[in-house]
Chain A
Amino acid sequence: MLKQFISLQWKSFFRSASLSSNLFFKILTIFFALYLIAMFTLLGGGIYFILEEKVQKDPLLIINQFLIFYLFIDLVFKYMMQKMPVVNIKPLLYLPFSKSKIVHFSLWKTILSFFNFIHYFFFIPFAVVLIIEGYPPGHVIGWTMGALALIYCNNFINVFLNDVDAVFYSFLGALVILFGLHYYQIFDVTVYTAPIFDALFNQPYLVIIPILLMISMYILAFRYFKNILYLDGGLQQKQQEAKTESFDWLNRFGGISVFLKNDLKLIKRNKRSRTAVIMSLVFIFYGMLFFTGAVEAYEGPVWRIFAGLFVTGGFLFTFGQYVPSWDSSYYQLMMSQNIMYRDYLNAKWWLIVIATILTTLVASFYAYFGLEVYLAILVAAIYNVGVNSHMVLWGGAYVKTPIDLTSNKKAFGDKQAFNVKTLLLTIPKLLLPMALYAVGHYTIGPMLGYALVTLAGLLGFAFKEKVFDIIEKVYKTEKYKTIAAYKQKN
């Protein structure tokens, strides 16, 4: 029976549309994974010495102090990025597989995920260093196993979280608040959690606790999943109560208003697009890492532009990147209707521009960090509107991954709203303005840097129609391929 499951999984992976059509992205993704592995390994091997030199305290104690945040952040990342691997469950239900087998298999598959696997590259080098540095090996092994068991606890907790958004967002809120309180030294949660991890090291037999916790999480996840394994349970699509809305105030936009209205409904009513918008709100606060000096590596002046681009461009990167995939489920309709590509594109462009202006307004609080920081944000916003807004639409014309807007079609919906590909496509849009700024900054001064980036933004704005001509051509030449790709779901 296991053999059949594995063969199904194998086929679904190698026969998926995305593997054959996006080989380039697959390769990039693999490189990105290798990069992450290298970084985790370096960090695991090196953090002992870094901490020893900088803090002059027992590095293990410091790691224990922050392990709670490490685990929390792992859970957040798992929720956002880990696709829940599902064997297509519905067709198996009435076949002679026992339900337990189906559930066990689905759960075991998550264990093999990259998001669990990557932590070995941190903890094992760290453990090796500890042993070399003379920590008792038995204790080190117990501690490492305990930490990894907790990572797997996260893995199974993620199974529940994937179904209940409310739990996740309250959890994320709690994490942000705890971290903030810790940062401003109001309340330190690590005072309570660090002794737990210290104890785990000092009495290695305590490793039994995280392992038992992991096993019970597995059992809970198993029960939970098995219970909802009905067509009218977890496998059912959730229905929302619908309300007809007209958004007549958008009519002032003329020809493109019909698309704008539709796009607003798209964003409002679909899980996947809502996640994109929430991500773009998170991006606004990303700049805090740079301007508060929280991360040393981000101190260089060029990083200001980088931060500004992200702060004002969250929506641009999370939503714009995927035009026209948002409309993939009804692309055939769009292509046979009386639609001008120019109007369609313009509507998306306006949406991006409006969102960028709104985020720039929200980001006004960065003025608190000084004029130069605020200028960096404004300049980056101009560049985003002038250049990047076209660039994402251009790039998007080649991206042919259909988007499942509802994404909770299966018991384990895949949350791919924020994935590695998006990040990779983002890189070129960031390097050019950073380079321009650097040229100005290191020859005459920051003001010239800002002027150069602004100029590039304004130039891009001037070439908007030209770029739209190109995108229109791409849409036309790629039309048949795009339709064919969107027809293959998953």
Chain B
Amino acid sequence: MITVNNLTKKYSGTTVLNIDSLEIPKGQSFGLVGNNGAGKTTFFSLLLDLIRPTTGAIENNQIKVSESEAWKPYTAAFIDESFLIGYLTPEEYFYFIGELRGQNKADVDSFLAPFEDFFNGEILGGKKYLRDLSKGNQKKAGIVASFIGNPEVIILDEPFANLDPTTQIRLKRLIKELADGNDVTILISSHDLMHVTEVCERVVVLDKGEMVKDIQTSTETLQELETYFTR
């Protein structure tokens, strides 16, 4: 689904990302870990064509993301608050995203119904705009919005950060369901090694922009990662 070739990103001479080749097959749940500055968000921004690669290219379903925009209809992402429209209520935001993805109001309503637990009564029907919600609730709204319209590729940057423990557990279940069910490719970055090994079939470790580990998740993966990061 995602093919990376000779991808580098440099900022005034410093290489912040350098991936020779990476292939993420359709339907895989892919985890990205690494310390601050490892290049996780840079990689996701490149994948969404929000920044331009210095060399190389990323293909999303055989479409070069920097050349065509045809990848947009089946790709969804939540990177940070700049993916939220602050002056909308959560409902309005979901309808807006839904309309862009060809879903009418009724579709979005029936899509949202199963998320009642996840929202914990704090998102829908409240009298608050997104900008006035707490960081955790903003994140919940953003993550759920990225699931609207059956996207084939979902990109979530640090989805577990800022969430309360109950929601973290619910989110893990949601992601697993998505990964098990249809052919959705999910890309997740996280600082929480336990969460990543739990929900991802494959974990890649980035260090200063280089891919240093590429592991198919097994029972030993968490141990292996912990050993790696204990330096």
Binding site for B on A (CB under 8 A): 237, 239-246, 258, 261-262, 265-266, 269-270, 329-333, 335-339, 405-406, 480, 483-484, 486-487
A242-B127, A242-B129 given as contacts; is B49 within 8 A of A335 (CB)? yes
How far apart sit A405 and B130, CA to CA, in the bound complex (Å)? Answer: 13
Q: Is the CB of B82 within 8 A of A336?
A: no
A330 touches B82 (CB 8 A): yes
Stretch at the interface among B19-27, B70-78, B112-120, B162-170: B70-78
Counting chain B residues whose Cβ lies within 8 A of the other chain, the interface size class is 20 to 34
Instruction: Write out, one digit per residue, whether chain B residues 34-52 have a CB within 8 A of any chain A CB (1) or not (0).
Output: 0000000000000011111
Complexed CA–CA distance, A269 and B87 (Å): 6
Residue with the greatest number of chain B CB neighbours at <10 A, chosen from A269, A336, A405, A486:
A336
The residue that A258 contacts in the complex, of B79, B99, B126, B129, with Cβ under 8 A, is: B99
CA distance A336 to B99 in the complex (A): 15
Of A237, A270, A333, the residue contacting B87 (CB under 8 A) is A270
Whether B52 pairs with A480 at a CB distance below 8 angstroms is yes
State whether B128 touches A239 (Cβ < 8 A): yes
Complex Cα spacing A331 to B128, Å: 22
Assess the A330–B79 pair: CB atoms within 8 A.
no
Chain B residues within 8 Å of A330, by CB:
82-86
Judge whether B197 is part of the interface by a CB distance below 8 angstroms: no
Give the complex CA separation of A241 and B128 in angstroms: 6
Measured between alpha carbons, how far is A339 from B102 in the docked complex, in Å? 11
Looking at the assembled complex, report how far the CB atom of A248 sits from the nearest CB atom of chain B, in whole angstroms: 9
Tell me what chain A mostly uses at the interface: helix, strand, loop, or mixed: helix
User: Interface-forming stretch among B88-96, B173-181, B184-192?
Assistant: B88-96
Are B92 and A336 in contact, with the CB atoms below 8 A?
A: no
B82 touches A332 (CB 8 A): yes
User: B residues within 8 A CB of A480?
Assistant: 50-52
Which residues of B, 141-189, contact A by the 8 Å Cβ criterion?
none
In whole angstroms, what is the CA distance A412 to B5 when docked?
Answer: 49
Residues of B within 8 A of A (CB): 48-52, 72-73, 75, 77, 79-80, 82-89, 91-92, 95-97, 99-101, 105, 126-129, 131-132
The complex places the Cα of A330 from the Cα of B84 at a distance, in Å, of 6
Closest chain B residue to A409, Cβ basis: B131
- Residues on B with C-beta less than 8 A from A487 are 82
A487 to B: closest C-beta gap in Å:
7
Can you pick out 18 interface pairs between chain A and chain B where the beta carbons lie within 8 Å of each other?
A: A239-B132, A242-B129, A242-B132, A244-B91, A262-B96, A265-B87, A330-B82, A330-B84, A331-B82, A332-B80, A333-B82, A336-B50, A336-B77, A338-B101, A339-B100, A406-B131, A484-B51, A487-B82
Within 8 Å by CB of A240, from B50, B51, B129, lies: B129
Q: Which 10 A-B pairs have the closest CB atoms?
A: A333-B83, A269-B87, A258-B99, A338-B72, A336-B48, A332-B82, A242-B129, A338-B73, A239-B132, A244-B89
Pairwise interchain contact A332-B87, C-beta atoms closer than 8 A: no
